[in-house]
Amino acid sequence: MSERSWGGDMTPGSWGDGTRSVRAGEAAPVPGAPLRPSPVFAAPFHLGDQPPRAGGADAYARTEHPTLRDFEAAVGELDGGRCLSFATGMAAITAAVLPFVGAGDRVVLPSDGYYTTRLLAAGELERFGVRADYVPTLEIEAAAARGDLQDARLVLLETPSNPQLDVCDIAAVARATRAAGALLVVDNTTATPLGQRPLALGAGLTVGSDTKALTGHSDLLLGHVSTTDDELHARMASWRGHTGSTPGPFEAWLGHRSMSTLDLRLARQAVNAAAVAELLAASPAVTGVRWPWRAGDPSFALAARQMLRPNGVVSAELAGEAEVAALLAATRLWTAATSFGGVHSTIDRRAQWGADAVAPGFVRLSCGIEDTDDLVADLAAALGALG
């Protein structure tokens, strides 16, 4: 049990997801203290007659802050490592890549993952002489087996991939990257720390855009990186301090509060996704339904073996842009919006952003926590209106 964990003779590893979501990162209870820590709104801290950081004391919020530590302790327990928080998910991705590569290095990135990661490589990594190669999520394991990772400095996976929801074998790629002396980074945003534990599968770093399902209310920007390696943690902490990508205390506090309901939200979202995936698969207006936990999905067997629980993101394809617009116009409970993992159900036509290699009618559906019967009935009526 960590020093910050609460729980008598119990250990966090024996707790269920609901208990871990609520209790992760908590200090031992003190009579008269609040149940949850309040945010500390401070940039500088009193130094007194002590030198900066003497005895671990806080000095300046860009490099150390108690509210950030509370959030990081909680997320780190769920991830199974030490966590650093960042202002956004992309700030977290940046911190998981740039501190560990330099001119002449090669990185391997998913060609079908979050598009801004590819933009980071094209716009920034290549400018500094870092070569980026792109491999589809479904092909990375075969590429590793062929030895294609031998000269890579860093390999980044996103599984399930966003937005097409393909799954790759983290443990198999981890073995190949270790043999090659490369660092494996896994973007775990879609799965969340409750749905998948990349560090336990051999990854060096696990990254999350906590804007999405971890905090789940579509009201803040936040990200994190966790690791079990002290040297990697120290390098990222130095990067964060030098680049100033630290989140604000209110965002960290709000994220810590919001993640308490992660287990409950994921459970309802998964039930909704299962029902929505079946509805879409039965509709003549829809093709290419993907949800890794639906029997018959190309990623079903691996997802069932590698992942701990499903989530609420489904992808599918309609005939085109006009059909997506007609579907949205006919619904009352499905909102046109990007991002995913929130409490509201949303539909995002990915081709409109001009970055994903998908058809004009490809959509990512993020199932919220509304009543399943209501969501299904509303979507069924809208699909019926398409004729």
* Domains of the chain: residue spans and CATH: 261-385 (3.90.1150.10)
pLDDT of residue 11: 57
Contact 164, 192 (CB under 8 A): no
The active-site residue, picked from 114, 263, 356, 364, is 114
pLDDT of residue 2: 36
pLDDT in tens, 66-123: 999 999 999 999 999 999 999 999 999 999 999 999 999 999 999 999 999 999 999 9
pLDDT of residue 327: 98
Q: Known catalytic residue: 60?
A: no
**Three-class DSSP category at 39:** coil
Evaluate if residue 276 carries a pLDDT over 50: yes
Q: Is the pTM of this model over 0.75?
A: yes
Q: From residue 13, how far is each of 80, 171, 213, 366 by CA, in Å?
A: 9, 21, 22, 30
Give the residue among 307, 311, 308 at the shortest CA–CA distance from 291: 311
Contact 161, 113 (CB under 8 A): yes
Q: What are phi and psi of 108, to 5 degrees?
A: -115, 125
CB count in 10 Å sphere of residue 175: 16
The active-site residue, picked from 187, 210, 263, 356, is 187
pLDDT of residue 6: 35
**Three-class DSSP category at 106:** strand
**What average pLDDT does this structure show over 124-147?**
96
pLDDT in tens, 211-259: 999 999 999 999 999 999 999 999 999 999 999 999 999 999 999 999 9
Q: What are phi and psi of 360, to 5 degrees?
A: -60, -30
pLDDT in tens, 30-69: 999 888 889 999 999 998 888 877 777 899 999 999 999 9
The active-site residue, picked from 4, 23, 62, 235, is 62
CB count in 10 Å sphere of residue 284: 8
pLDDT in tens, 153-181: 999 999 999 999 999 999 999 999 999 99
Residue 137 banded pLDDT, cuts 50, 70, 90: very high
Residues 6+ apart with CB under 8 A from 48: none
pLDDT of residue 43: 95
- Kindly report whether the peptide bond that precedes residue 51 is cis, defined as omega within 30 degrees of 0: no
Residues 6+ apart with CB under 8 A from 51: none
**What average pLDDT does this structure show over 116-132?**
95
Q: Known catalytic residue: 151?
A: no
Contact 334, 364 (CB under 8 A): no
The active-site residue, picked from 20, 82, 153, 212, is 212
Q: Known catalytic residue: 62?
A: yes
Q: Known catalytic residue: 134?
A: no
**What average pLDDT does this structure show over 184-188?**
98
To the nearest whole number, what is the mean pLDDT of the chain? 94
